[in-house]
Amino acid sequence: MLDFANKIVCSSQTKGHIQIIFGPMFSGKTTELIRRLRKYQIANHKCLIIKYSHDTRYSEKEISTHDRQTLDAISVATLSHLKNQAENYSVIGIDEGQFFPDVVVFSEEMANIGKIVIVAALDGTYQRKGFSNTLQLVPLAESVIKLTSVCMLCFEDASYTKRIGNETE
């Protein structure tokens, strides 16, 4: 809250913005997303939580951390399907943002109409090539953090994911 010549300006009256949580696999992106969303829920914000529909590792109806912290979520393949529904929420949390082809357009549109948009996503592939859709969010975002994981060979911080199988995707 700020006082400009005895006028109280509440932070809930500010414009929308985009927050990005980047990092490799097992860096705690979903854990951080859940922490932020719970904080907004405590502050009486209505939160729309979105997960990628093809990510069914733990649940089809929740985002989940690897240690099974969960929050109920709506499962979709394309964010644009939720535009009308999103208008009823002040905060939008998107898990696995790298999988949504329209994450940039959707996030910018929602922020421009006053929504707080939080995107948790991989920033690059195991080949250390950027996911262009999520990297395009960076100049639009008010906040960007990059988490690290732990290298299981040297036990130092790891800033990218290393593929250990023979898959190519």
* DSSP-derived 3-state class of residue 161: coil
pTM: 0.84
Domain annotation covers residue 7? no
Domain annotation covers residue 152? yes
Exposure on the CB side of residue 43, measured as CA atoms within 13 A: 12
Best CA proximity match to 137, nearest among 123, 126, 147: 123
Report yes or no: 156 and 150 within 8 Å, Cβ to Cβ: yes
Q: In the structure, what pLDDT confidence band is assigned to residue 2 with cuts at 50, 70 and 90? A: very low
Of 8-22, 59-73, 75-89, the range with the highest mean pLDDT is 75-89
pLDDT at 76 over 80: yes
Domain annotation covers residue 153? yes
Strand residue runs (E) in the chain: 2-4, 7-9, 17-22, 47-52, 62-64, 70-72, 74-76, 91-94, 116-121, 143-146, 149-150, 157-158
Best CA proximity match to 58, nearest among 67, 49, 46: 67
* Domain span holding position 23: 17-54+70-158
pLDDT at 55 over 80: no
Of the candidates 32, 87, 96, 108, the residue annotated as catalytic is: 96
State yes or no: is 32 an active-site residue.
no
Quick one: average pLDDT of 25-45?
95
Phi-psi region of 73 (alpha: psi -120 to 50; beta: other; left: phi over 0): beta
Tens of pLDDT along 7-34? 544 555 558 999 999 999 889 899 999 9
Using the structure block, give the residue that is written with the tokens 């690290």: 148
Domain annotation covers residue 41? yes
- Number of other residues whose CB lies within 10 A of the CB of residue 143: 10
**Total domains, the chain:** 1
CATH classification of the domain holding 105: 3.40.50.300
Domain annotation covers residue 133? yes
Tens of pLDDT along 115-156? 999 999 999 887 888 877 889 999 999 999 999 989 888 998
pLDDT at 169: 57
Quick one: average pLDDT of 96-105?
96
Domain annotation covers residue 164? no
| Top-confidence residue, 164 or 125 | 125
Report yes or no: 133 and 125 within 8 Å, Cβ to Cβ: no
Domain annotation covers residue 1? no
Best CA proximity match to 97, nearest among 23, 3, 165, 35: 23
Domain annotation covers residue 134? yes
pLDDT at 3 over 50: no
